[in-house]
Amino acid sequence: MIKLHRIAIVILILCGFIIISKAQTQKSREILIKNATILTISNGTIKNGSILIRDGRIAEVGANVTASPDTKVIDATGKYVMPGIIDCHSHTAIEGGINESTSPVTPQVRIGDVIRHDDINIYRALAGGVTTLNILHGSANVIGGQNAVIKLKWGKPVEELFFPGAPRGIKFALGENPKRSNTSNPQAQRRFPNTRMGIEMVLRQAFTEAQLYMREWEDYEGKLARGENPLPPRRDLKLETLADILRGKIRVHAHCYRADEIVMLLKVADDFGFKIATLQHVLEGYKVAKEIAAHGAGASTFADNWAYKMEAYDAIPHNAALMAKRGVRVSINSDSNERARRLYQEAAKAMKYGGLSEEEALKTITLNPAWQLGIDNRVGSIEVGKDADLAIFSAHPFSAYTMVEMTLIEGEVYFDRNAAKVASKITAE
């Protein structure tokens, strides 16, 4: 009975915290973070600066910011504020697996249909200052499923997690994963492809079919415009998605490792007239950085993870810096629930390996992934008019001793280390 009584008290206290927080939010639509060192990413560092948040957006940034008396104040004396971290390659919050591996081409499936809003890894990522994730299909398919860009609004319904207006995206995969994804079960029927040559053929065949599909619909619409009454072509969700890639409506995020397959994919995209948004992992990108930059693709890579399989043996920790110095917009990603909690430390490695500046390294987890996902007009830097997605650190984000103290999304606190400590203490008692 005593245990039940204590549990009831804890629930009531936590409910009280929620009610008070909501009441404060409703009472004051303004929040002032003051006395902080602000890492704006786009406009340098502001010492002893303030950020005024109004209705979820950044209203003012600078050393001399004033606010009304009823504004909620967060005193960040001695602390650092940076934009919320953006992870361009994640598999967090996915229900029912990440690979529809029954076919080499499955663009009609959508990760957004199986997002779990209650995955505890969302909260753990918030504790690492992450505010936005690019949730990707797996790499069992040459052309996989469509992605979902989400904000980590822990405790909100799943519909509120999706990043409003984020461009659609899709996962491609090259190399060993799509080659061997159908060999784990010896009794399963083997499917095409089984070589890197076959992977290229799958891509070319799929987009040739998509071009024919588009032509059928163009002919149909032309007949309608001329006053005819033709039968419409059969609607095909797979080909419709591929057609939207050709139309430039869907961004391609391509799993890859080796230099030869990277150049192959860029050539296929050029031949069919679409762009690769990001090359994911891209561990041999340093070998073909010139070609990547010429195509206009971004690169989303690991900081120093390599040699875990044969096609990763030529990876080097200088990869991110070498690509960046050749004009490629580079991001550092996690591809891991565990690594997502310390992406600020992963980004710092680009300063040690390759000599990126502090600002360039910070961009690999903020403005660069925002650009890669087509959301840099909303997030990725601390600028007036952008969403107030922010992470407050106890020390510089690249310090070995730093911790995330607070994470805000659109001006609302979703992680507060002090509040978490209080709740933990009450539960223990």
Torsional class of 35: left (φ above 0), alpha (ψ -120 to 50), beta (otherwise):
left
Give residue 4's pLDDT. 45
According to DSSP, the residues that pair with 38 across neighbouring strands are: 46, 81
CA proximity to 53, closest of 366, 410, 413, 415: 410
3-state secondary structure of 40: coil
pLDDT score recorded for residue 182: 64
Amino acid at site 41: I
Tens place of pLDDT for every residue, the chain, 429 residues? 444 445 444 443 454 444 345 434 434 589 999 999 999 999 999 999 999 999 999 999 999 898 999 999 999 999 999 999 999 999 999 977 899 988 999 999 999 999 999 999 999 999 999 999 999 999 999 999 999 999 999 999 999 999 999 999 999 999 999 988 766 555 556 788 999 999 999 999 999 999 999 999 999 999 999 999 999 999 999 999 999 999 999 999 999 999 999 999 999 999 999 999 999 999 999 999 999 999 999 999 999 998 899 999 999 999 999 999 999 999 999 999 999 999 999 999 999 999 999 999 999 999 999 999 999 999 999 999 999 999 999 999 999 999 999 999 999 999 999 987 665 556 555
For residues 426 and 13, the answer to whether their CB atoms sit within 8 Å is yes
Q: Which residues contact 377 (CB under 8 A, 6 or more apart)?
A: 386
Which residue in 131, 54, 92 sits closest to 339, CA to CA?
A: 92
Cα separation, 36 vs 159, whole angstroms: 33
Residue 215 falls in which region: left (phi positive, over 0), alpha (psi -120 to 50) or beta? alpha
The helix/strand/coil state of 49 is: strand
CATH number attached to the domain at 85-379: 3.20.20.140
Of 379, 404, 337, the C-alpha closest to 120 is 337
Architecture of the domain whose range is 2-83+413-428? Roll (2.30)
Amino acid identity for residue 73 in this structure: V
Is residue 161 within 8 A of residue 201, CB to CB? The reply is no
H/E element, 409: strand 404-409
- CA 78 to chain CA centroid, Å, is 29
Please state the domain extents for the chain: 2-83+413-428, 85-379
Give the Å distances, CA to CA, from 205 to 1, 210, 211, 215, 242.
Answer: 68, 9, 10, 15, 11
Is residue 351 within 8 A of residue 358, CB to CB? The reply is yes
Q: Which two tokens stand for residue 157?
A: 């319904």
Q: Residue 23: what pLDDT? A: 39
Burial code (b: 16+ CB inside 10 Å, e: under 16) for 306-337 equals beeeebbebbbbbbbbbbbbbebbbbbbbbbb
Strand partners, 146: 110, 170
